[in-house]
Amino acid sequence: MRRLVLAALIVAALAAPSQAQVHVNVGIALPGPPTLAVIPGAPVYYAPGAPANVFFYGHQYWLFHDNGWYWGPSWNGPWAVVAPVHVPVPILRVPVRYYHARPSHWKGWRHDGPPRWDGHWGRDWREAAHERHWREREEHWKRGRHGDAKHDQDRHGPQPGRRNAAHEAGKRGRGDHR
């Protein structure tokens, strides 16, 4: 009976459709890995010599081209279309001066501030802060970076200057009753 159940599970797993990711040709060829420069005050790098707006953040490449966002695991792709709501906030906050292939409707915008995303996509493109927090947290979990205080504390011990209720409860459970 166990073998029959196991065989049925294997067949079902193989028959299930895999999640497809659409890769696109963005029409931009980088001859090699672009030289990256730090954007002051941001955890984002940009490629000043690239023929398009190429950014590097979170071990991923991001491209803004033809008023759309693309993501790629490498400097040469493959590129996948990304909805604006899924572009990390630090990239959206990059000042206009670091976009050297700017859309024409950006003329006259302040170079020391971020693009006016609301004006182009409207306010509906924005993800609520709590939704973005949980989505980004889930993405960190998938990549093996937990970002969870309890998990990190279990691995690295309590942070200096902070009392830990779970740690204190554990001490009481070992006979330290107060």
Whether the per-residue pLDDT at 157 is higher than 80: the answer is: no
Instruction: Check pLDDT > 80 for residue 166.
Output: no
Does 166 or 132 have the greater pLDDT score? Answer: 132
| Letter string b/e over residues 57-91, b meaning 16 or more CB atoms within 10 A of that residue's CB | bbeebbbbbeeebbbbeebebebeebebeebbeeb
Tokens 């190429």 locate to: 54
Mean pLDDT (the chain, rounded):
72
Which residues, 6+ apart, have CB-to-CB distance to 129 below 8 Å? none
- For residue 143, the model assigns a pLDDT of 65
Rounded average pLDDT over 48-63? 94
pLDDT of 150 above 70: no
Position 31 scores a pLDDT of: 82
pLDDT digits (tens, 9 = 90+) for 6-38: 444 444 443 333 333 445 566 677 788 999 999
Cβ atoms of 32 and 21 within 8 Å: the answer is no
Sign (positive/negative) of CA torsion 49, 33, 97, 81? positive
- Given a cut of 70, is residue 114 above it in pLDDT? yes
pLDDT, tens digit (0-9, with 9 covering 90-100), for 61-113: 999 998 899 999 999 889 999 988 889 989 999 999 999 898 888 888 989 98
Under 8 Å CB-to-CB from 52, ≥6 apart: which residues?
A: 26, 28, 63, 64, 65, 101
The answer on pLDDT for 178 being more than 70 is: no
Give strand ranges (E) for 39-143: 45-46, 53-57, 60-65, 68-72, 79-82
**What residue ranges do the domains of the chain occupy?**
22-126, 128-160
What's the predicted TM-score (pTM) here? 0.57
Predicted pLDDT at 106: 87
Enter the tokens of residue 45.
């790098």
Q: How far apart are CA 2 and CA 169, in angstroms?
A: 42
Q: What is the pLDDT of residue 126?
A: 54
Q: Is the bond preceding 95 in cis, omega lying within 30 degrees of 0? A: no
